[in-house]
Structure 1
Amino acid sequence: METPRPVVSRRPFCCTLKCFVKFLRLVVTVTSMIFFIVGQAPEPYIVITGFEVTVIFCFLVLYTCGLDKIMRSFFWPLLDVINSMVTALCMLIVSVLALIPETSTKTILGGVFGFLTVTCTIADCALMCQKLRFRPRQPYQKKSTNDIDDRE
């Protein structure tokens, strides 16, 4: 008689560290955008930051609703890592440009929060890179023949 297999339940995305980092990234980017808007920063700063907010929100919805498991035509972790790298580069440039000239205090705060966005983006990219590893984190352990027979 077969023994029933235990059902492996995964934690929902909203209860993971990746969700926390993405949500923190979203909040910091929105804060940076608000400071750019209130400080009347140049339009490219606001547009780039707003675009990043939109993309982060879309990835949050994608992972929270489980659409990445339904739409298998894309390799979502790779797209997320590429997005994180582009975001880090763009926000780093915007933040440096916001801090260089003599600008208002609110624009400077937008630049500082932009640097925090870059930090959160790098952390998010590091977490997503773990999914892209081809080799497992633990060393490979050869299973005995009894373990193989139990799974069948």
Structure 2
Amino acid sequence: MQTLKPKPKSRPFCCSVKGHVKLLRLALAATSMTFFILAQAPEPYIVITGFEVTSTFFFILLYILRLDRLIRCLFWPLLDIINSVVAAVFMIVVSVLALIPETTIYTVLGGFSF
């Protein structure tokens, strides 16, 4: 007679380390975008940080709704890594560009947020 092992309980996404990191990333991107908007920074700064906020929010929503387990045709960890690398490159470029002229205090704060 074979005994059935109970399924391990999966923690909710928001309580996991991955969830905390994603939420922190979303908060930093939103803060940076807010500083850029307040400083009336050049539009590419705002657009790139808005893209980062949107894509991070999309992945958080995807993981909260467990769509990564429902849609198995995609390799979600690879997509997550690609998203993180692209976002890091964009944010490094925006941060460096925002800190070079040092026009206003909000632009500098937006650049330091990343």
What's the TM-score once normalised by structure 1's chain length?
A: 0.72
Hey, what's the Cα distance between the residues in 2 that align with 1:7 and 1:71? Answer: 20
Structure 2 segments unaligned to the other structure (5+ residues): none
Number of the residue aligned with 1:74:
74
1:28 aligns with 2:25: no
Hey, what's the Cα distance between the residues in 2 that align with 1:74 and 1:7? Answer: 24
1:80/1:4 CA distance change after superposition, 3 Å: closer
Higher relative contact order (CA 8 A, sep 6+): 2
| Structure (1 or 2) with the larger CA radius of gyration | 1
Number of the residue aligned with 2:62:
62
Number of the residue aligned with 2:40:
40
Q: Which amino acid aligns with 1:71?
A: I
What's the TM-score once normalised by structure 2's chain length?
A: 0.95
1:3 shift after superposition: 3.1
1:61 shift after superposition: 0.3
Q: Which amino acid aligns with 2:13?
A: F
Matches within 5 A, 1:67-106: 67-106=67-106
- Summarize deviations over 1:14-34 as a string: whole Å, max 9, x none: 210100010000001000000
How many residues align? The count is: 114
1:6 shift after superposition: 2.4
Q: Which amino acid aligns with 2:38?
A: V
Q: What RMSD over aligned residues (CA atoms) do the two structures have, in Å?
A: 1.0
Q: Residue 29 of structure 2 contacts residue 49 of structure 2 at CA under 8 Å; is this kept in 1?
A: yes
1:52 aligns with 2:49: no
1:110 shift after superposition: 0.3
1:102 shift after superposition: 3.4
Secondary structure at 2:92's aligned position in 1? helix
- Summarize deviations over 1:6-65 as a string: whole Å, max 9, x none: 232111212101000100000010000000000010000000000110000000000111
Hey, what's the Cα distance between the residues in 1 that align with 2:48 and 2:77? Answer: 22
Q: Which amino acid aligns with 2:26?
A: L
Hey, what's the Cα distance between the residues in 2 that align with 1:111 and 1:102? Answer: 9
Q: Which moved more, 1:44-53 or 1:8-17?
A: 8-17
Hey, what's the Cα distance between the residues in 2 that align with 1:90 and 1:4? Answer: 49
1:89 shift after superposition: 0.5
Q: Residue 26 of structure 2 contacts residue 53 of structure 2 at CA under 8 Å; is this kept in 1?
A: yes
Secondary structure at 1:88's aligned position in 2? helix
